[in-house]
Structure 1
Amino acid sequence: MEGTIFSIIPAVIMLVLVLLTRKVLVSLGAGIIVGALFIHDFAVVDSIQEIGIIFYNIFISDGSINIGNIYLLSFLLLLGMLTAFLTASGGSRAFGDWMINRVRTRNGAQVMTAIMGLIIFIDDYFNSLAVGQIARPLTDRHKISRAKLAYFIDSTSAPVTVISPISSWGAYIIGIIGGLLATNEITNIQPLEAFITMIPLNFYAFTAILLVFLVAFLKMDIGAMRKHEDRAKTEGKLLKPGESNVPGDLSDAFEPHQQGRIYHLLVPIGVLIVATVTAMVLTGMNASGAKVTILTTFANTNVNLSLFLGGIASVLTALVFHLQQGQPKANWEKILFEGIKTMLPAIYILLLAWMIGSVIGTLETGQYLAQIVSDASISSAFLPLLFFIIAGLMALATGTSWGTFGIMLPIAAEVAVITDVSMLLPALSAVLAGSVFGDHCTPISDTTILSSTGAGSNHIDHVLTQLPYALIAAFASAIGYLIIGITNQVVFALLAALIVVVLVGFVIQFFNKTK
């Protein structure tokens, strides 16, 4: 069943169950089991062994420890410890008190969160988790639902990193583009120049970011998001009543220290940022060999190791502050335990997401969707739109932007060079845009999971509340790609996409006011 239409069934089952049951672990588990049965033609024993091997390979691959995954899982535990210390020390409460007097409106708190999401553009993982830690005390005080905080984090992290050449994403993409240009013997443009030229062609990145600010300014609360926001504003409940197993939520674990100060929050987070970025630069320079540049540094940086080192440094800093406070409300062993416990739901989801990603990879779901594009006879004017849609579907089904980049960028380049070379950069940009769009819609995306974790939001609440906004940005982007294919006018196409988002925003605002 590999590489056929049947290969998409496990992903479809998983997505349908998520929507129907809202139980992400059950839904992911069902997708994994069905996928394993498909791989082994419904041989039960072999399928069970396949699931065991997939889980084993998360930690040990090709006879060696899969240290990257272990670093990331360890960082999540460290983040839980850090969150617990920031809460127990009273630092989060003190920061919230301080900010409430400076950012006095809900709109201001939302805009501040969005701006922080744009500033931290080095890496999407780092963005998702760091912005959550900084913004949550402020958004909690202004009674902004955790689901909306997760949306702000997720819809600024990947969109800003995918258009930044000085980021882990930018470096990775530039590396792929360099290989594609060489393979197709295109010598009139260099990889970095091509990437920069493609930035205004990434319509989804710009429409998604614009939509975040429109949501903040125009109060564009639609669908499930409106229910979360109404509950937060009227009842002060940032999470759905009865919600359990929410990553990073320590509201009932212990009473914050009464002598907490702002620096009890800002210094540990500052250490996290400085230590992580420093480690990223050093690991990237070390892996670049003799030729060290900004691009090679970020292309070769070890993000997971850097997060782990930054996490250790920040937790130790928070621990020192905690011990200095004297007669704390909770002892440090309990704080560590509660911090670890609150991160376990996120780790469970991440492990199962990795497992279903492996199953989908074995079933060659991505290759099947890519083959549809290769076999299609279509006018070159529709190539950007087609690649945007297919890349979105692939990222939705596989849960990975980077995996979609790796599969779809070479196909887009080959098709564009053969049919109409002027569509090369628009087609490549459409793949990048579609990958981020699909990533925003799927519950098995690493970035989506970490955005929920950073915000302290229920994961499925985040997915369902973000989905309408992702679809709005995708609709506007699709119009842009249709225009760019017909006219080849970049500015006109980008402006059209942005105008569509603004118009939709004002229409939604109008209907919200009439209700």
Structure 2
Amino acid sequence: MEFTNTIWSLLPPLIAIILALITKEVYSSLFIGIFAGGLLYAGFNLTAAMEHIFVNGMIGQLSDSWNVGILIFLVILGSMVMLMNRAGGSAAFGKWAVTHVKTKAGAQVATIVLGMLIFIDDYFNCLTVGSVMRPVTDKHGISREKLAYLIDATAAPVCIIAPISSWAAAVTGFVDGANGLSLFIRAIPYNFYALLTLVMMFSITYMKFDYGSMNLAELNHRAELKERKKKDAASLTGAEDQPHPPISERGKVIHLVLPIAALIICNVIGMIYTGGFFQGESFVDAFSNSDASVGLVYGSVVALVITIVFFLATRVLSFSECMNAIPEGFKSMVPAIIVLTFAWTLKAMTDSLGAKEYVAGLVSNIADNHALMSLLPAIVFLVGIFLAFATGTSWGTFGILIPIVVNVFGGDINNELMIISISACMAGAVCGDHCSPISDTTIMASAGADCDHISHVTTQLPYAFTVAGVSLVSYIISGFVRNWAVCLLIGIVLMVGSLACIKKLHREPQ
């Protein structure tokens, strides 16, 4: 029986996702999905399946230069976070934030705004926002699940509406025979999922409520805080609960702010360097041509050196303490590295089975039906969600769907329906990526918030589904109305109205 280029090609990721959501255990779930993919590819020949899994899959993914660059970036970020913690910068920032960010809503808004400002790259966004805002959200009793959602919702959804980002560069690269950046900019107002996700975050923050599994996570976190306070009150010191070396008492806010500033500046310079900025390319073109993986490695290495030199110069840490913090930071990122490796391997299994080609064929058949043309944006949005959710990659989804949409309309850049459909592809890809437990961005958000990965996935799913539902209605309307201002206004009204109704149906946590 032939399994490639058929519906069977989607079985391995579905197995992994369903098992992860049921068992709440991500490592074994991913590996079972990988093993199923290997068996299908090899026609249930065990020897060939194992060779495909480990040689073509895991080893192949770990020898890919892009993936290696991301892992190096992840390790360096973990080391920098550990250095900032040991130097007392995170603790000092937390104390400063208590006096300046005085409410729980304020802490959430600060997280959202910071996430919106760091729009260059989603990986960079997840880890940087997490390391900066964890002390603030911890002080205000915000659960790690809520922090992970705010990080994740300001990563890919913000990058996909930022013309100067690694995501814009990826999208424009999939549009042949047209000005990709121009199409990207024209599609931004129709990217309902990304825009309504921002509306969603600000709405639940100012309405001061949560629902679904996120509500339960917040309540459990409050109960844990109360129990912790009782234990702290019962003991003279909490030192026995501290597994790490003592934090420097000389740490100040600058010992967190300067490393983060260096990280942002150095990563921007690293990315435009790989895009040829210093060889005469314009800033925008340099970003469009940049290699985010290499650029982030360059920038983070320089930022790490600056951080160590700064800590030594201000004598908050000795050289040996700095060196000891680096492997500790590496260890803190091991869970994320394992999940990423398994997720990449599962993607390799899915690719080898021809899942992309199978879905591309389905979409082409739908697009050939002229009676469904007005519904094409909504259909493309749903297909994008499913494909990105099953494969864990939004960029791969762009690569499949955008060329199909462009070909359907003959590359007519003046066709408004084509712009809407391209935007629906991007929105669906980001939505599926946002929901998928095997998405690298979702994994990074869990790492940035220091949150259990499956807890992050299950708590953000109700929120993502709510936005996806409103976005689907907006795309159905836009296929007929074809006016972004009208459709976006309807979407915002529906989004806020839906949340108001949900709030009435759910008791607000006290």
Instruction: Return the TM-score normalized by structure 1.
Output: 0.90
In the alignment, the residues of structure 2 paired with residue 16 and residue 413 of structure 1 have an alpha-carbon distance, to the nearest angstrom, of 34
User: 1:257-268 maps to which residues of 2 (within 5 A)?
Assistant: 257-268=248-259
Contact 1:7 1:365 in 2 (8 A): yes
Contact 1:257 1:328 in 2 (8 A): no
Deviations 1:326-384 (A, max 9, x none): 67799334322321111100000000011001111111112212222222335211100
Counterpart of 1:280?
271
In the alignment, the residues of structure 2 paired with residue 150 and residue 348 of structure 1 have an alpha-carbon distance, to the nearest angstrom, of 19
Structure 1 residue runs without a partner (length 5+): 61-65, 182-189, 240-249
Contact 1:416 1:427 in 2 (8 A): no
Structure 2 residue runs without a partner (length 5+): 229-240
Contact 2:164 2:288 in 1 (8 A): no
Counterpart of 2:398?
405
Say whether 1:25 aligns with 2:19.
no
Q: Which moved more, 1:495-504 or 1:433-442?
A: 495-504
In the alignment, the residues of structure 1 paired with residue 306 and residue 95 of structure 2 have an alpha-carbon distance, to the nearest angstrom, of 22
Q: Which amino acid aligns with 1:210?
A: V
Counterpart of 1:388?
381
User: 1:352-391 maps to which residues of 2 (within 5 A)?
Assistant: 352-376=342-366, 377=369, 378-391=371-384
Deviations 1:97-117 (A, max 9, x none): 011100100000000000011
1:90 positional shift: 1.0
Counterpart of 2:197?
208
1:256 to 247, 260, 263: 247
Contact 1:133 1:454 in 2 (8 A): yes
User: 1:288-367 maps to which residues of 2 (within 5 A)?
Assistant: 292-323=281-312, 324-325=314-315, 331-367=321-357
Deviations 1:118-155 (A, max 9, x none): 11111111111111111111111111111111111111
In the alignment, the residues of structure 1 paired with residue 316 and residue 476 of structure 2 have an alpha-carbon distance, to the nearest angstrom, of 64
In the alignment, the residues of structure 2 paired with residue 337 and residue 282 of structure 1 have an alpha-carbon distance, to the nearest angstrom, of 28
Counterpart of 1:138?
136
Counterpart of 2:231?
none
In the alignment, the residues of structure 1 paired with residue 255 and residue 340 of structure 2 have an alpha-carbon distance, to the nearest angstrom, of 30
1:296 positional shift: 2.1
Deviations 1:377-398 (A, max 9, x none): 3521110000000011000011
Contact 2:171 2:180 in 1 (8 A): no
In the alignment, the residues of structure 2 paired with residue 422 and residue 217 of structure 1 have an alpha-carbon distance, to the nearest angstrom, of 35
1:295 positional shift: 3.2
Q: Which amino acid aligns with 1:293?
A: S
In the alignment, the residues of structure 1 paired with residue 44 and residue 211 of structure 2 have an alpha-carbon distance, to the nearest angstrom, of 42
Contact 1:281 1:297 in 2 (8 A): yes
User: 1:219-230 maps to which residues of 2 (within 5 A)?
Assistant: 219-230=208-219
Q: Which amino acid aligns with 1:115?
A: V
Contact 1:395 1:435 in 2 (8 A): yes
Deviations 1:389-432 (A, max 9, x none): 00110000111111000001111222344999542111111000
In the alignment, the residues of structure 1 paired with residue 39 and residue 323 of structure 2 have an alpha-carbon distance, to the nearest angstrom, of 44
Say whether 1:153 aligns with 2:144.
no
1:302 positional shift: 2.0
In the alignment, the residues of structure 1 paired with residue 110 and residue 317 of structure 2 have an alpha-carbon distance, to the nearest angstrom, of 35
1:157 positional shift: 1.2
Q: Which amino acid aligns with 2:378?
A: L
In the alignment, the residues of structure 2 paired with residue 238 and residue 255 of structure 1 have an alpha-carbon distance, to the nearest angstrom, of 24
1:463 to 457, 465, 477: 457
In the alignment, the residues of structure 1 paired with residue 145 and residue 347 of structure 2 have an alpha-carbon distance, to the nearest angstrom, of 25
1:514 positional shift: 6.8
Alignment RMSD: 2.4
Q: Which amino acid aligns with 2:331?
A: K
Q: Which amino acid aligns with 1:93?
A: A
Q: Which amino acid aligns with 2:38?
A: A
Counterpart of 2:123?
125
- Give the 3 Å change call, closer, same or farther, for CA 78–422 of structure 1 in structure 2: closer
- Identical amino acids, percent of aligned pairs: 37
Deviations 1:218-271 (A, max 9, x none): 1231122112211223432899xxxxxxxxxx9743332222111111111111
In the alignment, the residues of structure 1 paired with residue 488 and residue 121 of structure 2 have an alpha-carbon distance, to the nearest angstrom, of 25
Matched position secondary structure for 2:331: helix
In the alignment, the residues of structure 1 paired with residue 504 and residue 359 of structure 2 have an alpha-carbon distance, to the nearest angstrom, of 39
Contact 1:253 1:338 in 2 (8 A): no
Number of aligned residue pairs: give it: 489
- Give the 3 Å change call, closer, same or farther, for CA 197–286 of structure 1 in structure 2: closer
Deviations 1:311-339 (A, max 9, x none): 22333333335445367799334322321
Q: Which amino acid aligns with 2:99?
A: N
Instruction: Return the TM-score normalized by structure 2.
Output: 0.91
Q: Which moved more, 1:411-420 or 1:22-31?
A: 411-420
Contact 1:140 1:238 in 2 (8 A): no
